[in-house]
Chains A and B, each alone.
Chain A
Amino acid sequence: MALLTREATRQAAPASTERREVKVLSGFAHLSLAVWAILVIAPLAWTVMASFKNNTEIFLGNPFALPSSFNFDSYVRAWNDAHVGRYFLNSVFVVSISTAGTMLLGSMAAYVLARYKFFGNRFIYYLFVSGLAFPVFLALVPLFLVVNNLGLLNTYTGLILVYIAYSLPFTVFFLAAFFKTLPNSVAEAAMIDGASHTRLFFQVMMPMAKPGLVSLTIFNILGQWNQYLLPVALMQGENADQKWVLTQGIASISVQAGYEADWAALFAALTLSILPMIVMYGFFQRQIQQGLTAGAVK
Chain B
Amino acid sequence: MRHGKYPFIVGFLAAPVALYVTFVIAPYLQAFYLAMTNWRGVSANPKFIGLDNFQRLLQDDVFWKAVRHHGLLLLALPLVTIAIALFFAFLLNVGGGSRGGVMTGVWGSKFYRFVFFFPQVLAIVIIGVIFQRVYAPDDSGLLNGFLKIFGIDPILFMANGRIALWAIVAVLVWQSVGFYVVLFSAGMASIPKDIYEAATLDGAGRGAMFFRVTMPLLWDTLQVAWVYLGIAAFDAFAIVQVLSVDQGGPDGATTVLGMEIYRNAFSYSQFGYASAMGVALFFLTITFAALTLRVSRRETIEL
List residues of A whose CB falls within 8 A of some B CB. Answer: 2, 5-6, 8-9, 12-13, 18, 21-22, 25-26, 29-30, 32-33, 36-37, 39-44, 46-47, 50, 58-64, 105-106, 108-109, 111-113, 116, 118, 124, 127-128, 130-131, 133-135, 137-143, 146-147, 161-162, 164-166, 168-169, 172, 177-178, 180-181, 191, 196-198, 201, 222, 225-226, 228, 247, 250-251, 254, 266, 270, 273-274, 277-278, 280-282, 285, 288-290, 292-293, 296-298
Contact = CB atoms under 8 A, between A and B. Distances in A.
Contact of B121 (A130, A222, A293): A222
Interface residues of B, number: 106
Contact of B200 (A12, A25, A46): A12
Given A131-B20, A166-B24, 6 more contacts: A5-B201, A109-B16, A142-B28, A166-B23, A169-B24, A281-B118
Given A180-B303, A278-B121, A58 B140 contact: yes
B230 to A, nearest CB: 13
B166 interface: no
Contacts, number: 269
Given A30-B107, A277-B121, A112 B303 contact: no
B258 interface: yes
B285 A133 contact: yes
Main secondary structure of the interface of A (DSSP, over half): helix
A164 B183 contact: no
B142 A142 contact: no
Contacts of B87: 32
Contacts of B141: 63
Contact of A134 (B2, B31, B126): B31
Q: Which of B24, B25, B258 has the most CB of A within 10 A?
A: B24
A63 to B, nearest CB: 4
B224 interface: yes
Contacts of B179: 292
Interface of B: 2, 4-6, 8-9, 11-13, 15-17, 19-28, 30-31, 34, 41, 84, 87-88, 91-92, 95-98, 100-101, 106-108, 111-126, 129-131, 133-134, 136, 139-142, 145-146, 174, 177-179, 182-183, 185-187, 190, 197, 200-203, 205-206, 221, 224, 237, 258, 261-262, 265-266, 271, 274-275, 278-279, 281-282, 285-286, 289, 300-301, 303
